[in-house]
Structure 1
Amino acid sequence: MNSEKETFQQKNYISKSLFYRFSQFVGFLLGARFFVAALLTFALYVSTFFLFNQDENFRKFVFDFKVHGIIFCTVLTILAGGIINQFYDFEKDHLVKPFRTRIQSFIKQKYFLYAYLVLSVLSLGVAWMISHRVFFFFVVYQFFMWFYSHKLSRILIINNLTFVSLTLYPFFGMMVYYGTFSKKVLLMAVFLFLILLCIDIVKDTLTKSVDKAFGYITIPNYFKSKNAKIIIIFLLIITMAVSMKLITRTGISGFMAYYFTGGLFVMIFCIYLLMNQFKKSNFLTLNILRFWVFVGIISMLLNGIESKL
């Protein structure tokens, strides 16, 4: 009888231990924003091969270890940036993202800092082996990742512009690496910048009261929610104008033409949601825009495959 009880206790201890370890692992992934990093990595590969890389030779791209090294450094830097951002926003996230912070509580904050240092140093080490210019590129990237979390995220307008710029920074680097400068690429970059800026401002409207309590000066806090919606609508109208320019003046075709044409209707629907006081209209707008960015990545992939065949 005692042996059965001991066996049961041992199994119960093992299951609790496994659950604890699994929770730690999930907490680390959420803290490092692993899934966001994975999406950005996918987007970076798609845009690099099908937009920036003008070389038709797929084999050459696959064996271009310098490009893979740069993308690898980017992934490590994004993971490190996610960790340092959650370190500074830990108290705020307790209210905004209670489930995530509860999972992350299985890991002590000092271990997140250790992971941040390891990822940052490893990224810079690989960048140094690639070239001194790449090393400098990632030193700047990591510095602004830290500075955004430490200071810039609390400054009006600068917080939104910096966040979006840091999101697009790796894509800018690949564009410079391949020397791909054209009207089409420039307009696509402006389109993505504007839609990401809208997403970030809409996100701020959902965390308005928490941001105010913790000293984050955001557009919804400073200009009030009604004026913030007007700003978002204005940005969406500009985004629509850029889309029309891409469709009519750059000769864009295939799935990307369908994407930017469909985007006009998506923007109109988002404007309709923002102008009407629907319950959860901001939440719906946020997720529609996020989904449309993902659709853009898939459209670029399909368009690239079509053009390479």
Structure 2
Amino acid sequence: MNNPLFYRISQLIGFLLGARVFVALLLTFALYVSTFFLFSREESVRNFVFDFRVHGIIFCTVLSILAGGIINQFYDREKDQLTKPFRTRIQKFLKQKYFLYAYLTLNLISLGIAFLISPRVFFFFLTYQFFMWFYSHKLSKVLIVNNLTFVTLTVYPFFGMWIYYKTFSAKIFLMAIFLFLILLMIDIIKDLLTKNADKMFGYATIPNQFGIKVSKVILGIISVLLMWISTLIISKEGIHNIMNLYFAGGLLVLVFALYLLLNPYKKSNFFVLNILRIWVFIGIIAMLMDGIILRF
């Protein structure tokens, strides 16, 4: 334990986990895929590659997400000791003040770059960063608002790119609703898994306020809505591309998820959570493959 190399590596791992670097990398990948293959279909590859405003906006997003992960773990550190003991032990190798320094630095760099792009982009990220802090500080403990705010902040960067390219269509709108609802479903399932810890530390969640049965009814309603949206997307074009095949396959995934949710065992909720997370990632890959076929 006194080995300085081990200590430095532990500090680095603790920081990476605290900043949720791996989540930020996944969102960066998703942003690039959605921006290039969904929002900017009319733009040439060359124009996209040399559009430094877009790269700057995505870079500011990544920095803001990293900062948001840091401030969230700062406020949730007591609950994380119960729900994420391994991550908490690793993070103890680095003092909390260094996380706060990193939080301020990442936000300031992000805002500085955003201001160089344009005042509107600056205010876009200033709003984003404020609500990420406000969510961690207050809203994460407010019933229903916590789930809606968390999901809204997750999709906020995608909404920004949608507005930037002014790519308005019924299909993209339905896909945005689909993403919002599946992320909402994931967040409620997470609350089911951390029910006891949330209650202990004063987090008002749907499972704590209404019980497990009502929570699963809500999850069932969301699943039905997701199936309906998937059917609408498929019915517009049929299964003629990879993304529509993804939504068709999603019907089976959602039925299986519902079956597992009806199971009373806690492990079933854990399986559903990971199935839905994997399915979101598969959706990004499907968009990438579909875009490559259409573009090239």
TM-score range, shorter chain: over 0.9
2:289 aligned partner: 302
**Are 1:56 and 1:308, in contact at CA under 8 Å, matched by a contact in 2?**
no
Once residues 239 and 253 of structure 2 are traced to their aligned partners in structure 1, the CA distance between those partners, rounded to angstroms, is 19
Given the alignment of the two structures, is residue 124 of structure 1 paired with residue 115 of structure 2, yes or no? no
Matches within 5 A, 1:1-309: 16-250=3-237, 253-278=240-265, 280-309=267-296
Once residues 279 and 215 of structure 1 are traced to their aligned partners in structure 2, the CA distance between those partners, rounded to angstroms, is 22
- Bigger Cα displacement from structure 2, 253-262 vs 117-126: 253-262
> In structure 2, the residue corresponding to 1:107 is in which secondary structure?
coil
**Are 2:15 and 2:99, in contact at CA under 8 Å, matched by a contact in 1?**
yes
**Are 2:239 and 2:245, in contact at CA under 8 Å, matched by a contact in 1?**
no
- Bigger Cα displacement from structure 2, 235-244 vs 246-255: 246-255
**Are 1:148 and 1:163, in contact at CA under 8 Å, matched by a contact in 2?**
yes
How many corresponding residue pairs? 296
> In structure 2, the residue corresponding to 1:280 is in which secondary structure?
helix
Sequence identity percentage: 67
Once residues 252 and 90 of structure 1 are traced to their aligned partners in structure 2, the CA distance between those partners, rounded to angstroms, is 46
| Structure 1: unaligned runs, 5 residues or longer | 1-11
| Structure 2: unaligned runs, 5 residues or longer | none
Once residues 103 and 262 of structure 2 are traced to their aligned partners in structure 1, the CA distance between those partners, rounded to angstroms, is 42
Q: Give 1:272 shift.
A: 0.5
> In structure 2, the residue corresponding to 1:55 is in which secondary structure?
coil
Q: Give 1:57 shift.
A: 1.0
**Are 2:181 and 2:222, in contact at CA under 8 Å, matched by a contact in 1?**
yes
- Deviation track 1:217-250 (CA, whole Å, cap 9, x = no partner) reads 0000001011101110110010000000000025
Once residues 278 and 138 of structure 1 are traced to their aligned partners in structure 2, the CA distance between those partners, rounded to angstroms, is 41
Q: Give 1:89 shift.
A: 0.2
**Are 2:77 and 2:88, in contact at CA under 8 Å, matched by a contact in 1?**
yes
- For residue 253 of structure 2, what is the amino acid of its counterpart? V
**Are 2:178 and 2:229, in contact at CA under 8 Å, matched by a contact in 1?**
yes
So what's the TM-score if we normalise by structure 1?
Answer: 0.94
- For residue 257 of structure 1, what is the amino acid of its counterpart? N
Q: Give 1:132 shift.
A: 0.2
Once residues 82 and 129 of structure 2 are traced to their aligned partners in structure 1, the CA distance between those partners, rounded to angstroms, is 27
- Pick closer, same or farther for the CA change 1:252–1:123 going to 2, 3 Å: farther
Q: Give 1:253 shift.
A: 3.5
Structure 1 runs (4+) greater than 4 angstroms displaced:
none
Q: Give 1:251 shift.
A: 5.7
- State which structure, 1 or 2, has the greater radius of gyration over its C-alpha atoms: 1
**Are 1:33 and 1:79, in contact at CA under 8 Å, matched by a contact in 2?**
yes
Once residues 204 and 266 of structure 2 are traced to their aligned partners in structure 1, the CA distance between those partners, rounded to angstroms, is 25
Once residues 202 and 208 of structure 2 are traced to their aligned partners in structure 1, the CA distance between those partners, rounded to angstroms, is 10
- For residue 300 of structure 1, what is the amino acid of its counterpart? M
- Pick closer, same or farther for the CA change 1:248–1:242 going to 2, 3 Å: same
- For residue 114 of structure 2, what is the amino acid of its counterpart? A
**Are 2:220 and 2:258, in contact at CA under 8 Å, matched by a contact in 1?**
yes
**Are 2:193 and 2:266, in contact at CA under 8 Å, matched by a contact in 1?**
no
- For residue 80 of structure 1, what is the amino acid of its counterpart? A
- For residue 62 of structure 1, what is the amino acid of its counterpart? V
